[in-house]
Amino acid sequence: MRWEASSADDTRALGVRLAGLLRRGDLVVLSGDLGAGKTTFTQGLGEGLGVRGPVTSPTFVISRVHPPLGGGPALVHVDAYRLGPGTGSGEAALELDDLDLDASLEDAVTVVEWGAGVAAGLADDRLEVQLLRPHGDPGGAGDDGLEPRTVLVRAVGPRWDGVDLGGAVRGA
């Protein structure tokens, strides 16, 4: 699935819509350049899941748990950027494993920023979300001063068989 976000609000709105498809035990792996909108997208997920916020980047604390305000799942928000010598490294995967996320995987929605190549081992079923932003297009800024983003969502595993991800986008 491919979606164009012309603003941070659009990116957040996609997160809100996709949150409606998520349930306990789901893993969302985010990738994209610095400033591409990974945390903004996760803020939308948090809003859509109805968790206690604010949802902010966990870069320096590595992981934050946002408990649900109602009966839904908690949001475990992880930033793998500072793990190991580089994203995608074996050492980073080991450090992610040391966080003992699998203890909360069944009860929460887990989002791992910078998780490509690192977090796939946490679950066979996952959503892989890549946020792309253009580089060097000075005339491409939207109303909020940000460049438009392209959001690519790929469903992996049988959990997502028959789930209409496009419906979340069409509703945005």
CATH number of the domain where residue 144 is located: 3.40.50.300
Position 119: which residue type? Answer: A
Instruction: Decide if pLDDT at 158 tops 90.
Output: yes
In a domain, 111, yes or no: yes
Instruction: Decide if pLDDT at 11 tops 50.
Output: yes
The residues facing 74 across adjacent strands are 108
In a domain, 170, yes or no: no
In whole angstroms, give the CA distance from residue 46 to residue 108.
12
Which pTM was predicted? 0.83
Tally of domains within the chain:
1
Instruction: Decide if pLDDT at 89 tops 70.
Output: no
> Model confidence over 104-132: pLDDT tens digits?
667 899 999 888 877 777 788 999 999 99
In whole angstroms, give the CA distance from residue 49 to residue 131.
20
- Sign of the CA dihedral with 39 first, then 61, 20, and 28 last: positive
In a domain, 148, yes or no: yes
In a domain, 118, yes or no: yes
CB of 134 within 8 A of CB of 149? no
In whole angstroms, give the CA distance from residue 112 to residue 129.
10
